[in-house]
Structure 1
Amino acid sequence: MTIELIKGDITTLAVDAIVNAANSSLLGGGGVDGAIHRKAGKALLEACIAIRNKQSGCATGNAVITTAGELPAKYVIHTVGPVWQGGQKGEEELLARCYRNSLALALDQGIKTIAFPNISTGIYHFPKKLAAAIAIQTIRDFNPRDAFERVVFICFDEENYSLYQTLLNQE
């Protein structure tokens, strides 16, 4: 498995799946979630509504998969990251679950290339350096590692990009 770091816009990536840092309603929101919903169009929203009607959304740490609509990716994996509450409410494990559950769904679908944004580091206020460390370690620890050809961390801003770059170069 190749781990790649890109600074850019996740909605432009031609990979098998992009991961959406969603909210539990799955109906779009701000940040990366809003950008994905805007670019993907009606098909994505309809798929999310169908999931919501079936299971009433997505719980923190869990993940669901939909079509990617108008995006260049084939699928969108929606995962709900934890809101940072000082680190005393299991936030680290919940964030790790977001990555593990997204990878498990991807594995079930035969996905070979997947891109992750910075989950929970925007309006959910998860400390960025800690979130990056959890993301990288969870990806590296996932088994079977050889199930994926390419895992991309895509950072929209310079701060997250620099954090990931430093952590990825440490090993």
Structure 2
Amino acid sequence: MRPIILTWGDILTLHGDALVCPAHKHLICGRGLSAQIYARGGVELVTQCQLQPECAVGEARLTRAYQLGVNYLLHTVTPQWSSGDQWGAQALQQLRHCYENVLALAEQNGLKYLLFPALGAGTNRFPHAIAAHQALAVLTACSGQFEQITICLHTPAALGEWQEVKQQFFSV
């Protein structure tokens, strides 16, 4: 099992085989990180995304990354956090599917160095501790299949929450 790297900063400055992009179901420019990725990816990215089939919540799609510091983008549609109401369990399962399907697609395409944002914890409002637990449960189980998995958080505070979850539940 290889360690999962937790860091904070601008994920778009990092290098790897693939960057995971929080996506809209039609792979169009969304909000937050998605908007930044599409802005840097350019017209070629938009054109390739238009050729992709619709992507349901939890599914993943692969495209080239064009002007970004990676070769590929792994797009996945994250669920909306519903504040733990009656649909909360479904949202948690869908978030896990995002990670599982991204990892399966990466493995199918021989991608070994993956960059993840905190899926669901941005504009979809999952609390970081909950998002971290779902992510780390899946990523820890599969980390041996990849050379490096990096999770890049947007703030030092978010990094602290992820580190706490990792230490409490996923330390060996």
TM-score scaled by length of structure 1: 0.91
Amino acid at match of 2:155: D
Deviation at 1:124, TM superposition (A): 1.3
Contact 2:128 / 2:162 at 8 angstroms: preserved in 1? no
Structure-2 separation of matches of 1:15 and 1:9: 14
Which consecutive residues of structure 2, in runs of 5 or more, have no partner in the other structure? none
CA distance in 1, matches of 2:134, 2:141: 10
Moved >4 Å (runs of 4+): none
Secondary structure of the corresponding residue to residue 51 of structure 2: helix
1:19-168, aligned counterparts within 5 Å? 19-51=20-52, 55=53, 57-87=54-84, 88-89=86-87, 90-142=90-142, 145-168=143-166
How many residues of Structure 1 are paired with residues of Structure 2 in the alignment? Answer: 165
Name the SS for the 1:94 alignment partner: helix
CA RMSD of aligned residues (A): 1.2
* Offset of residue 116 of structure 1: 0.6
Residues 3-22 of structure 1: CA deviation (Å, up to 9, x unaligned): 10111112111100000011
Q: Is 1:11 matched with 2:12? A: yes
For 2:103, the aligned partner's letter is L
Residue ranges of structure 1 left out of the alignment (5+ in a row)? none
Measured in 2, the distance between the counterparts of 1:73 and 1:16 equals 5
Task: Determine the C-alpha separation between the residues in 2 that align with 1:65 and 1:103.
Answer: 11
Please say which of residues 101-110 and 126-135 is displaced more in the overlay: 126-135
Report SS of the residue matched to 1:96: helix
Q: 1:60 Cα deviation (Å)?
A: 0.3
